[in-house]
Amino acid sequence: MFSEKISYWMGSISDDPIVGLYNTSTGQSTGGYNGRYSNSAEDPPNAIDGLLNTKCLNFGVQDNDGFMLYNPGVNTFFFVTPTISNASVAVALLFATADEFPYRDPLTVTLEGTNATDVEALHLGSSWTLIYSGPTGIDPARNTYMQQQDFSNTIAFRSYRLLVTSQEGLSNSVQYTEAQILGHV
């Protein structure tokens, strides 16, 4: 079906559209987007730029009084529409840890796919199909790539949504350096 095997990540390297998410659960509609990041040097495109010297840090959501909620980094991260082709088959995730604060590391994630590309449709939970739910492979090592997490998938999708479902410890945020979605076209 797909003959060209590639190992690629989606993001600013090819200017793929990416939207940061928070308060969003697998299979559900977007709870919030383009939320709170410490600064523009730590926003979602940095999580998929192929560089170990950048990172993404997501503070998630606050309550109405401005106080941090319990582990606001859970149910955060992004959706992306790769421009590498009209559709691609994701078969692995490859994470790299940030330079500090291991308790902010994402431990488990979900990856969902859809053939929608319209921003409104990408915010709807009904448009997403679960592809992967499991570990990130992250361990205590800092600022380095972890073990690749392979999974079985043969379905091509045009867009992907990656959500953190648990993290190492209690923190005001979640962070990592890279979250590469590997696959082929």
Residues of the chain with pLDDT under 50: 1-12
Under 8 Å between Cβ of 160 and 21:
no
pLDDT for the residue numbered 69:
58
pLDDT for the residue numbered 18:
86
pLDDT for the residue numbered 162:
97
Residue with tokens 């790769």: 82
In the chain, what are the domain boundaries? 18-184
Cα separation, 79 vs 33, whole angstroms: 10
Residue with tokens 């867009």: 159
pLDDT for the residue numbered 3:
34
Rounded to 5°, the CA angle 151-46-6 comes to: 40
- Which of 177, 30, 13 lies closest to 112 in space, CA to CA? 30
pLDDT for the residue numbered 6:
41
pLDDT for the residue numbered 170:
84
18-184 has which fold? Jelly Rolls (2.60.120)
- This prediction has a pTM of 0.89
pLDDT for the residue numbered 67:
54
